[in-house]
Homo-oligomer: A and B are copies of this chain.
Amino acid sequence: MGTIAFAVSGAMVAIEKRMDVFGVIVLALLTAVGGGMVRDVLAGITPPVTLCNITDFVLAMLTAALVSWLYSAGWVSHRGKRHIIWLYNICDTIGLASFTITGMLTGLSHENGNPYLLPVLLGVITAVGGGILRDIMAQRMPVVLYKDIYATASLVGALISCLLYPYIGLPGMAWLCFVIVVGLRFSALYYGWHLFHPRPNRFR
């Protein structure tokens, strides 16, 4: 579900930027598997497992084709978008949470240095890396850097569950992380929370 939601967002950005079918498929793939790819390269797992797993590829490609067809057929109107946006948000948030968890697990299997830093970092990178690669390829400022509580939900979930990991074990950690990420993300969406923006001084 997470893979599909991420592929949908990649394909939509690509179409809005007027890319061709190849670009749409590349962006859908990159958004879906890019975070996991960066995580594996950083963790020294080469070739990255995501590049050896054909299921994700086929899913992302089918999604890209479906989104392209829906757009071209004119079925994506502003109203339609608002109707499906909650469905999309649910899939996307589940993706965010599960990608955070897989990233943390990869980090926990390494024994270097600080026991909290690497799992938390890899968790957040897995969750938001695909979206950042998508935005860089599409020449947009990465959305996670200025908007919404998104990466922050992933970060808080990873941090808290990682700190409590010695007391609650692996399944407890995964569930705790899932609950925190989903809870924070939906609270933020529902109440319209945003992070503080430091303002450039107007008298500069």
Interface residues of A (CB under 8 A from B): 14-24, 26-27, 37, 41-44, 46-49, 51-54, 57, 67-69, 71-72, 74-78, 81, 110, 112-114, 117-118, 121, 132, 136-142, 144-147, 151-152, 155, 194-201, 203-204
Beyond A15-B200, A41-B46, 15 additional contacts (C-beta under 8 Å) are A20-B146, A20-B195, A20-B197, A21-B198, A43-B46, A52-B112, A54-B113, A54-B117, A67-B198, A71-B199, A72-B199, A76-B201, A78-B203, A137-B142, A137-B145
Chain B hits for A71, CB < 8 A: 198-201
Chain B hits for A145, CB < 8 A: 14, 19-20, 22-23, 26-27, 137
In the assembled complex, the CB of A193 is this many whole angstroms from the nearest CB of chain B, namely: 11
Q: Which residue of B lies closest to A81 (CB)?
A: B204
Q: Which of B51, B113, B196, B203 contacts A118 (CB 8 A)?
A: B51
Instruction: Specify how many copies of this chain sit in the oligomer.
Output: 3
